[in-house]
Amino acid sequence: MRKAIFPGSFDPFTIGHYDVLESALKLFDKIYIAIGYNSTKERNGYFTLQQRIEIIKAATAHLSGIEICTYPDLTIDLCRRLGVQCIIRGLRTTTDFELESVIAQANKKMYPDVVSLFIPASQEYSFISSTVVRDVLIHGGDASLFLPRGVDLSILK
Ligand code: ADP
């Protein structure tokens, strides 16, 4: 079975993340959507881990081959635990590429069997980030334009 992980903060999971996931599903039978968190902070991020999970569940309910998990340590440690050798990351801009290539090289150094796969953002979603979504929400705007179909933030506790 071809397996990969799609790691991120996903605070929250956006339509841009969903677009990358859909592309990755054409290549892999199973994808772990892995929410990284900092175990030394009591609360990190805008949404709680449980809320982030609920959002991803709602966005991916109709898909098969998806598993959602959380991890407090290095992405390569999660890869080792899951027996996965491919890390998927999305690229929007050259800035993303510069940051991501450094991370990919560090990961390869620490875990030579790992391969990072970069999937370019679709043009219509390339401006979307979790930060934009959070800003819209903080100022009372309608974030549904930037969220995957099926995600209704009003159901979150
Ligand atoms: P992180 O904090 O690890 O960067 P994010 O949740 O912000 O996590 O993003 C996870 C991955 O998704 C990253 O590779 C990021 O570049 C990518 N990504 C974020 N938004 C988009 C988008 N609109 N289109 C394509 N890739 C995206």
Dig out the tokens for 37 from the structure: 């968190």
pLDDT at 156: 77
pLDDT at 157: 66
Q: At what angle do helices 94-110 and 75-82 cross, to 10 degrees?
A: 60
Q: Is 8 a pocket residue for ligand 1 (Cβ < 6 Å)?
A: yes
How far is the CA of 143 from the CAs of 89, 97, 140, in angstroms? 23, 26, 9
Answer yes or no: are the C-beta atoms of 24 and 6 closer than 8 Å.
Answer: yes
Pocket test for ligand 1, best of 47, 89, 102 (most atoms within 8 A of CB): 89
Please state whether the peptide bond connecting residue 12 to the residue before it is cis, i.e. omega within 30 degrees of 0. Answer: yes
pLDDT at 42: 62
Question: H/E element holding 37?
Answer: none
Residue tagged active-site, from 3, 92, 108, 134? 92
pLDDT at 125: 96
pLDDT at 4: 98
Q: Model's pTM, two decimal places? A: 0.95
Block means of pLDDT (10 residues each) for the chain, 157 residues, are: 96 98 97 91 83 97 97 97 98 96 98 97 96 95 94 81
pLDDT at 41: 66
Residue 121: name the closest of 16, 33, 28 by CA: 16
